[in-house]
Structures are given as structure tokens and as C-alpha cells.
């Protein structure tokens, strides 16, 4: 079973790289081709187990004609925080959090993550002052309860059987009649037992991801409790990304990981709330980033590598980051990349004399 989603391939044929040969390049090199990675497991994997495996990648350098690349270092070599998220979130940045933290600006203010998701970059960075927010109300409730009542959340999870029948019952529950503790446990349960850890709702806000049939625990206690400790004193809010960007002040760093512009057709995987996140919202995001930057706020944003993405965010610095995709399981789609946009200059990873900045 291979992990990736469809991407447009360039006409130039490129050599296949090993798993450790992931890299990133400046936008000028994007049309040189894509970085390809070998197919992975033959059976449906445990998503959390995969994340653990990805945290120990051997340093190696891949070479492509005309493309600046650099192998991914081991997580421990540049890791700033000790925690990781208790959730496996579709589109989350657990695999790449250390890379994104490594290009953080020298900021002396607060850290903001307006598209919280699993908050992977927050947990990697472990900032002294932080504000997390998301448009997904259930996710916000979950994070607050993990921070305030971790033991009670775990106790509720321990009572929830991993069966298709119970999953379907929990999926259909009306959250309006549930306590915040119950809602938090429900989010984690559905995230751990639903297919590929997706959080997807219909136009009425009803959760509609099928049962995943994963035989695994709902949580790692040490990871869960470490996440709870990391969330102490952190502002966690349900709000639109524009409110977070408007609140940020000079010297703050805002990392944005919005629902991506689809690589081909508007995929419904972006429906994390009942409201769609479409092209108009991407334009709103670009405007809000520009306004925040004008006040001295540092901004970093990840998005998909498409012509529309390049057009909307053309005013920002941009690099390419090699990735793996979990949603599409087609073998032909196993190579992909994201674009990383900033409003500040990123030094060349290769050190003095390097021709281009490059993200690992």
C-alpha cells in the first residue's frame, strides 16, 4: 500500500530517490521535476506507528541536475521541543515539524498557529508564549480538555470499545447534548479509529469518515501527558485565522497551515468544518499575511505546489519541501512536495557560499 496523492509530473524524467533523500528547493527549480519515493507497506499501517518510524531518518544527500536538495537530518539533531501531538491529523506536519522549526525567524514575541490541526509545529517548538486556534470547534474543545483534564479524558477513552458498531454510534452522536469532556474523548476516539485519521464533515457539520479497523491503542500515555503539560498557559481559541493574524504584534511568529489548494479539482478532504475553505479564503489569507507583515509580524505558510498557489502568494519568499501523502494510496502518486512561503529571508542551509536557500 503506497502513501501519496496524485501530483502533476513534469516532462523531465528524474531518478528515484531513497526515503532519506527527501529535499526542498527554491521555486525556480520546481519545474525540474518531482522528488519520488519508494512504495511503503503492503498492508494498512498504523498511522501513529508510521510517525514513530519517520522520526529516525538517516542523513543523506540526494543529487538532481539543476536542483538544490538536502537530505533530511535525524529528528534529534535539530529538535527543540520534547513533545509531539496526541493526534494524527490529515495534512498535519508531524513528519516535517523539525524542518519548519529549523527555519523559524529569530522572534522574541508569541508564537501563533491559527490552523491548529494537530499543532505539530507548536509541540516541536515548545514556545514560552503561544496562541493556538482553529475554525473546528470540536478540535478546540478537545485541546482545552487535554490541557485542563487529561486524566478524565483518558478515563473516558478507556471505556470506548474499538468496534464498528460503537464507532458508528459515536460518529452519529449530536455533540449539542454532550459535555466538553465527552466531546474531547469523542474527537480523539474518532481520530484514532476512523479511516486514516481523517476529520471530515458534511455540509450540515456531521462527521462522515468511515471506520478504519485499526487494532491499536487510542493514546500513548507519556505522549498524551507531555502534550497536556505543553498546553499549560497556552491560549486556545475557536476563531477564524484573520483574527489571529490581526492580534499578532511585531516580533511574533505566525505559522499557517491552511487547507491546501487542491492539486487537481477541489478535493473534499479540506472540509474540516461545515464551511468550505475555497479560493476566496486563500486570497483572504494572502491579504491577512501581508497586513500582519506590514506590522513587523513574521509569517510562515505551507501550501500545495500549484500554479494558483504561486499566483495568490507571489509576493512572498518561497521554497519547496519534499513530502509524503497519506490520503491517496496510488503507487503512481508517491512523490510530492509542499511550498513554504515566508515574509523573511531564510539563510542557505548549505552555509556560506550556497547558491539558494533550501529546506531539508
β-strands 253-256, 235-238 pairing:
unpaired
β-strands 336-342, 317-323 pairing:
antiparallel
Does residue 185 share a domain with residue 107? no
Does residue 132 share a domain with residue 55? yes
Does residue 273 share a domain with residue 161? no
Does residue 243 share a domain with residue 156? no
**Is 305 part of any domain?**
yes
pLDDT, tens only, 101-155: 999 999 999 999 999 999 999 999 999 999 999 999 999 999 999 999 999 999 9
**Is 348 part of any domain?**
no
**Is 179 part of any domain?**
yes
CATH code of residue 294: 3.40.50.150
pLDDT, tens only, 224-278: 999 999 999 999 999 999 999 999 999 999 999 999 998 875 544 444 444 678 8
Does residue 290 share a domain with residue 214? no
Does residue 130 share a domain with residue 52? yes
**Cα separations in angstroms, 303 against 139, 257, 316, 347:** 21, 7, 12, 21
**Is 15 part of any domain?**
no
pLDDT at 28 over 50: no
Q: For the chain, how many structural domains are there in total?
A: 2
| Domain extent for 104 | 27-136+236-342
Does residue 131 share a domain with residue 43? yes
Kindly report the average pLDDT of the chain as a whole number: 75
pLDDT, tens only, 269-309: 444 444 678 899 999 999 999 999 999 999 999 999 999 99
Mean pLDDT of 43-48: 47
Compute the distance between CA of residue 116 and CA of residue 51 in angstroms, rounded to an integer: 18
pLDDT of amino acid 335 = 59
Alpha helices in the chain (DSSP H): 47-54, 97-102, 120-125, 137-148, 150-158, 164-172, 180-193, 221-230, 241-247, 279-294, 307-312
pLDDT of amino acid 29 = 33
**Is 255 part of any domain?**
yes
Compute the distance between CA of residue 210 and CA of residue 270 in angstroms, rounded to an integer: 16
Say what the pTM is. 0.74
Per the CB < 8 A criterion, the answer to whether 39 and 331 are in contact is yes
Per the CB < 8 A criterion, the answer to whether 195 and 166 are in contact is no
Compute the distance between CA of residue 289 and CA of residue 149 in angstroms, rounded to an integer: 34
Does residue 208 share a domain with residue 68? no
**Is 352 part of any domain?**
no
pLDDT of amino acid 324 = 67
pLDDT at 13 over 50: no
Per the CB < 8 A criterion, the answer to whether 339 and 303 are in contact is yes
Amino acid at each position: 500500500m503506497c502513501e501519496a496523492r496524485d501530483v502533476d509530473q513534469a516532462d523531465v524524467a528524474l531518478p528515484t530517490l531513497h526515503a532519506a533523500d527527501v529535499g526542498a528547493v527554491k521555486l525556480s527549480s520546481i519545474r525540474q521535476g518531482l522528488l519520488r519515493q519508494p512504495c511503503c507497506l503492503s498492508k494498512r499501517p498504523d498511522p501513529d506507528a508510521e510517525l514513530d518510524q519517520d522520526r529516525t531518518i538517516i542523513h543523506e544527500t540526494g543529487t538532481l541536475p539543476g536542483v538544490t536538495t538536502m537530505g533530511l537530518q535525524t529528528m534529534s539533531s535539530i529538535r527543540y521541543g520534547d513533545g509531539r501531538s496526541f493526534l494524527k491529523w490529515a495534512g498535519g506536519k508531524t513528519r516535517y515539524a523539525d524542518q519548519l522549526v529549523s527555519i523559524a525567524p529569530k522572534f522574541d514575541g508569541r508564537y501563533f498557529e491559527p490552523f491548529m490541526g494537530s499543532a505539530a509545529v507548536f509541540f516541536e517548538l515548545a514556545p514560552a508564549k503561544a496562541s493556538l486556534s482553529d475554525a473546528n470547534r470540536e478540535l478546540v474543545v478537545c485541546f482545552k480538555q487535554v490541557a485542563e483534564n487529561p486524566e478524565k479524558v483518558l478515563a473516558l477513552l478507556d471505556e470506548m470499545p474499538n468496534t464498528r458498531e460503537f464507532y458508528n454510534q459515536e460518529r452519529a452522536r449530536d455533540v449539542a447534548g454532550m459535555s466538553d469532556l465527552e466531546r474531547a474523548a469523542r474527537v480523539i476516539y474518532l481520530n484514532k479509529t476512523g479511516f486514516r485519521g481523517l476529520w471530515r464533515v458534511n455540509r450540515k457539520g456531521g462527521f462522515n469518515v468511515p471506520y478504519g479497523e485499526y487494532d491499536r491503542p487510542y493514546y500513548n500515555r507519556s505522549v498524551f501527558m507531555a502534550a497536556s503539560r505543553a498546553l499549560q498557559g497556552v491560549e486556545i481559541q475557536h476563531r477564524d485565522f484573520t483574527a489571529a493574524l490581526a492580534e499578532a504584534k511585531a516580533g511574533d511568529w505566525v505559522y499557517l497551515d491552511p487547507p491546501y489548494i487542491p492539486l487537481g479539482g477541489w478535493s473534499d478532504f479540506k472540509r474540516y468544518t461545515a464551511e468550505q475553505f475555497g479560493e476566496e479564503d486563500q486570497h483572504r489569507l494572502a491579504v491577512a499575511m501581508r497586513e500582519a507583515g506590514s506590522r513587523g509580524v513574521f509569517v510562515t505558510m505551507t501550501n500545495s505546489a500549484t500554479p494558483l498557489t504561486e499566483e495568490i502568494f507571489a509576493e512572498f519568499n518561497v521554497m519547496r519541501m519534499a513530502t509524503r501523502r497519506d490520503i491517496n494510496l496510488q503507487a503512481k502518486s508517491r512523490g510530492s512536495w509542499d511550498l513554504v512561503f515566508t515574509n523573511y529571508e531564510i539563510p542557505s542551509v548549505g552555509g556560506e557560499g550556497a547558491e539558494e536557500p533550501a529546506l531539508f
